């Protein structure tokens, strides 16, 4: 009796989602590569329902009120108004009433090897002196957990030593470590870089374009998910890197600030333009460059918050550096080391150019928002005072403060991010067939975007990792066995 009505009522939603999917996926190439985003083991057909809250799907359409999301195994099977979705009797129901549900956030630029310490020149030697590889693994485990608990279900790591970052990625996928899903570049490729940062992040210098292409081949063979092109590169280097990466069906993210670097990366076919002037080292770009980026549909990830805004926010509220959750998670050794490094944070080399950056910080973001560029959302999380536990909602807030609508900002951090990293088919929105990455926040982020800092429930791959009283925090294998 109810079925025809139900189908009828659902039809506009399905059509809207279908149209949005088709339209949204047109301009961007999908890398048809076996997803390392999928969990390694087979999932049981366990059913989960998130029921009652407002649903933001990841598309820029009005939210669905009093919604239900059904999950089977690690996939979403249905999503819509509660009045139209039948919850199977054998499903575990997580009550989301009075809250907002949205897709798991995607961090399009993170670094798991750092935890917000103030100085690379002391952080990396400190790791070496305090357990070496074992400490590095511990640091990455902490970072991965911080991200997941902040609702970041997927993180694009853009610079880390090769073996450790692939190891943590794979351990998380196997359920051995509770953490964000990691997609990794391994070492970045640069020219003429040196020092503690280059060493600690495992950066590799090349001295010819041919060598750049070879480096990409090596990394692709080793199993990286994408390539990070770092600084000092020439136009021909970008071309060689893009060609080798695309041959291997992976994408390239370029770390670019100056107008000429951005121009080279754009013209050479680099897939994602990262930073794009956010450090304030250059005034806003020429209208021609912006127009060309927009016309090319080339995604930008501004990483706006990490210097100029974080600095100001810390000046206003230095207490943020002593977050008790961080203290608990880091343990005394790491916590004390990080605290020591931030004692006189305003004198750190990392913030040396902040005065100048403050002059340009607003125009730097607005130029892209107002031009209609394809914008993802990434933060450089883990850099000084830019903690994994909050970097992404701070970045999103900056974009909203600079004029992006909350809906567009959420879409940027979910559906658009998924597309620009080549995972648009599996991640980034709440709709049937996608991986079940869903978060529940306290408050309406469309009214107040900082509701994203109050993540109460985190579901990744269909497993509840935070909140949702129905289950406790367990990796997928044990969680399935116990039910």
**Nearer CB in complex with Zn ion: 261/380:** 380
Please report how close the Cβ of residue 436 comes to Zn ion at its closest, in angstroms.
29
Contacting range for Zn ion; rule: CB under 5 A; set: 24-32, 248-256, 291-299, 313-321: 248-256
For the window 62-101, what string marks contact with Zn ion as x by the rule CB under 5 A? Answer: ----------------------------------------
By CB under 5 A, the residues from 405 to 444 that bind Zn ion are none
Tokens standing for 229? 């092109």
Please report how close the Cβ of residue 176 comes to Zn ion at its closest, in angstroms.
26
By CB under 5 A, the residues from 358 to 397 that bind Zn ion are 380
Longest dimension (CA), the chain: 72
**Nearer CB in complex with Zn ion: 197/479:** 197
**Nearer CB in complex with Zn ion: 380/431:** 380
Angle 82-474-320 from CA coordinates, rounded to 5°? 85
**Nearer CB in complex with Zn ion: 56/189:** 189
Please report how close the Cβ of residue 325 comes to Zn ion at its closest, in angstroms.
24
Contacting range for Zn ion; rule: CB under 5 A; set: 33-41, 252-260, 362-370, 436-444: 252-260
Of 392, 388, 382, 390, nearest to 114 by C-alpha is: 382
255 sits near Zn ion (criterion: CB under 5 A): yes
**Nearer CB in complex with Zn ion: 237/380:** 380
**Nearer CB in complex with Zn ion: 255/415:** 255
Using Cβ positions, the residue closest to Zn ion within the complex turns out to be: 255
Q: Burial level of 317, CB count in 10 A (0-12/13-18/19+)?
A: exposed
Q: What is the DSSP letter of 232?
A: S
Contacting range for Zn ion; rule: CB under 5 A; set: 133-141, 215-223, 247-255, 468-476: 247-255
Q: Would you tell me how many other CB atoms lie within 10 Å of the CB of residue 355?
A: 11
Tokens standing for 458? 């985190």
Contacting range for Zn ion; rule: CB under 5 A; set: 48-56, 118-126, 140-148, 254-262: 254-262
Please report how close the Cβ of residue 275 comes to Zn ion at its closest, in angstroms.
6
Contacting range for Zn ion; rule: CB under 5 A; set: 73-81, 112-120, 253-261, 356-364: 253-261
157 sits near Zn ion (criterion: CB under 5 A): no
Binding-site size, Zn ion (CB under 5 A):
2
Angle 143-191-266 from CA coordinates, rounded to 5°? 80
Please report how close the Cβ of residue 198 comes to Zn ion at its closest, in angstroms.
12
Please report how close the Cβ of residue 149 comes to Zn ion at its closest, in angstroms.
21
**Nearer CB in complex with Zn ion: 271/380:** 380
**Nearer CB in complex with Zn ion: 71/112:** 112
Strands of the sheet with 300-301, listed across from one edge: 204-205, 189-190, 226-229, 251-256, 272-275, 300-301
Please report how close the Cβ of residue 256 comes to Zn ion at its closest, in angstroms.
9
**Which single residue is written with the structure tokens 């630029």?**
109
Please report how close the Cβ of residue 215 comes to Zn ion at its closest, in angstroms.
17
Are the beta carbons of 271 and 263 closer than 8 angstroms?
no
**Nearer CB in complex with Zn ion: 383/453:** 383
Of 383, 65, 46, nearest to 200 by C-alpha is: 383
- What is the H or E stretch that residue 108 is in? strand 105-110
Strands of the sheet with 67-72, listed across from one edge: 75-81, 67-72, 47-51, 92-95
Which residues have a Cβ under 8 Å from the Cβ of 390 and sit 6 or more positions away? 150, 453
Please report how close the Cβ of residue 298 comes to Zn ion at its closest, in angstroms.
17
Please report how close the Cβ of residue 107 comes to Zn ion at its closest, in angstroms.
11
What distances in angstroms separate CA 358 from CA 59, 195, 286, 427, one per listed residue?
Answer: 32, 27, 19, 35
Q: Burial level of 22, CB count in 10 A (0-12/13-18/19+)?
A: exposed
**Nearer CB in complex with Zn ion: 357/380:** 380
What distances in angstroms separate CA 405 from CA 111, 202, 384, one per listed residue?
Answer: 27, 37, 28
What does the binding site for Zn ion look like in residue numbers (CB under 5 A)?
255, 380
């Amino acid at each position: 009796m109810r079925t025809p009505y139900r189908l009828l009522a659902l039809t506009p939603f399905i059509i809207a989602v279908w149209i949005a999917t088709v339209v949204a996926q047109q301009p961007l190439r999908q890398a048809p590569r076996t997803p390392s985003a999928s969990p390694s083991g087979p999932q049981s057909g366990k059913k989960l329902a998130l029921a009652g809250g407002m649903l933001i799907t990841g598309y820029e359409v009005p939210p669905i009120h009093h919604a239900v999301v059904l999950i089977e195994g690690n996939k979403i099977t249905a999503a819509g108004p509660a009045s139209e979705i039948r919850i199977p009797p054998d499903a575990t129901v997580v009550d989301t009433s009075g809250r907002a549900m949205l897709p798991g956030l995607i961090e399009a630029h993170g670094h798991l090897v750092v935890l917000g310490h103030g100085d690379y020149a002391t952080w990396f030697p400190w790791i070496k002196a305090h357990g070496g590889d074992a400490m590095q693994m511990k640091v990455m485990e902490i970072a991965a957990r911080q991200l997941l608990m902040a609702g970041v279900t997927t993180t694009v790591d853009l610079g880390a030593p090769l073996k450790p970052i692939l190891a943590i990625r794979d351990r998380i996928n196997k359920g051995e470590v509770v953490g964000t899903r990691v997609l990794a570049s391994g070492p970045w490729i640069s020219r003429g870089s040196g020092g503690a940062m280059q060493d600690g992040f495992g950066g590799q210098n090349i001295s010819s374009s041919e060598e750049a292409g070879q480096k990409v081949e090596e990394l692709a063979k080793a199993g990286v998910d994408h390539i990070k092109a770092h600084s000092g590169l020439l136009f021909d280097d970008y071309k060689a890197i893009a060609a080798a990466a695309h041959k291997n069906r992976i994408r390239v993210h370029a770390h670019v600030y100056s107008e000429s670097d951005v121009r080279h990366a754009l013209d050479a076919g680099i897939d994602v333009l990262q930073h794009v002037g956010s450090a304030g080292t250059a005034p806003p770009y020429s209208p021609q460059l912006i127009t060309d980026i927009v016309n090319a549909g080339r995604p930008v990830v501004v990483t706006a918050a990490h210097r100029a805004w974080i600095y100001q926010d810390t000046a206003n509220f230095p207490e943020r550096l002593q977050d008790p959750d961080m203290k608990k998670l880091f343990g005394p050794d790491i916590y004390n080391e990080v605290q020591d490094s931030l004692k006189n944070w305003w004198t750190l080399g990392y913030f040396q150019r902040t005065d100048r950056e403050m002059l340009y910080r607003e125009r730097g973001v607005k130029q892209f928002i107002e031009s209609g560029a394809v914008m993802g959302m990434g933060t450089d999380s883990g850099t000084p005072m830019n903690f994994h536990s909050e970097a992404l909602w701070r970045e999103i807030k900056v974009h909203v403060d600079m004029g992006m609508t909350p809906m567009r900002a959420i879409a940027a951090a979910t559906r658009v991010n998924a597309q620009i990293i080549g995972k648009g088919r599996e991640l980034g929105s709440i709709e049937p067939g996608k991986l079940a990455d869903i978060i529940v926040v306290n408050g309406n982020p469309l009214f107040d975007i900082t509701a994203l800092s109050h993540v109460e429930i985190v579901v990744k791959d269909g497993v509840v990792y935070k909140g949702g009283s129905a289950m406790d925090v367990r990796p997928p294998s044990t969680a399935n066995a116990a039910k």
